[in-house]
A and B are shown apart, each in its own frame.
Chain A
Amino acid sequence: ETGVTQTPRHLVMGMTNKKSLKCEQHLGHNAMYWYKQSAKKPLELMFVYSLEERVENNSVPSRFSPECPNSSHLFLHLHTLQPEDSALYLCASSRGPLGYNEQFFGPGTRLTVL
């Protein structure tokens, strides 16, 4: 596979469930990102990892817990979510921290919280 892949593509969960979103990049990048895309709102940056170290946590509730075990993989662990957390969650990666490097996005996981 090439590029940035995300699994699952769709997820429906109850508020008491625990689930995880997975992102994998095959581009040799060393920075990875989680974004939340809700209807009628700009994309919201949630977390940034650079060289497997978290460098940004944008005031995200603790019910979202990221994990970056290596430079190719990024997880978002979910527990006790709320219906308002239903959204498209996008993963992205980039080559290093430089400001002009483009970010490559995965197709997203469409999350529905019942």
Chain B
Amino acid sequence: GDSVTQMEGPVTLSEEAFLTINCTYTATGYPSLFWYVQYPGEGLQLLLKATKADDKGSNKGFEATYRKETTSFHLEKGSVQVSDSAVYFCALSVLQGAQKLVFGQGTRLTINP
């Protein structure tokens, strides 16, 4: 079945460090791919998305490229801030009757000043 695998956390970095959170997926067909972020005490917010192969999603300095050949959608940011501390979820979207999101297990990111 469809699934998403994220790198296990927690991830702890210093401010201004480079960030990569790996995400790979298994899907039949051609899913859309998403990164969601969850700040403490809040629901999930869409961070970025890509709907087809080679698309690059970007937002708030974060980027991810839809790589069909490696079935990956790794999240990157060149210089992280303390305010980026949150849990990050990779997800794919499948259409089975209605749209369904399949999530990875989440990666907790902590940025130290």
Interface, chain A (partner B; CB < 8 A):
4, 6, 31, 40-43, 45, 48, 50, 55-56, 90, 92, 94, 96-108
Contacts and interface: CB of A to CB of B under 8 A. Distances in A.
B69 to A, nearest CB: 20
6 contacts: A43-B89, A96-B99, A99-B95, A102-B46, A105-B44, A108-B43
Across chains A and B, which 6 residue pairs bring their CB atoms closest together, nearest first?
A105-B43, A99-B95, A100-B32, A50-B98, A105-B44, A55-B97
Contacts of A101: 93, 99
Contacts, number: 72
Given A4-B43, A105-B43, A106-B43, A42 B100 contact: no
Given A40-B105, A100-B32, A100-B93, 19 more contacts: A4-B43, A31-B99, A42-B105, A42-B106, A50-B97, A55-B97, A56-B100, A90-B43, A92-B44, A96-B99, A97-B98, A98-B95, A99-B93, A99-B94, A100-B49, A101-B93, A103-B46, A105-B36, A107-B43
Chain B interface residue number, banded: 20 to 34
A43 B103 contact: yes
B44 A45 contact: no
B95 A107 contact: no
Given A90-B43, A105-B43, A105-B45, A48 B97 contact: yes
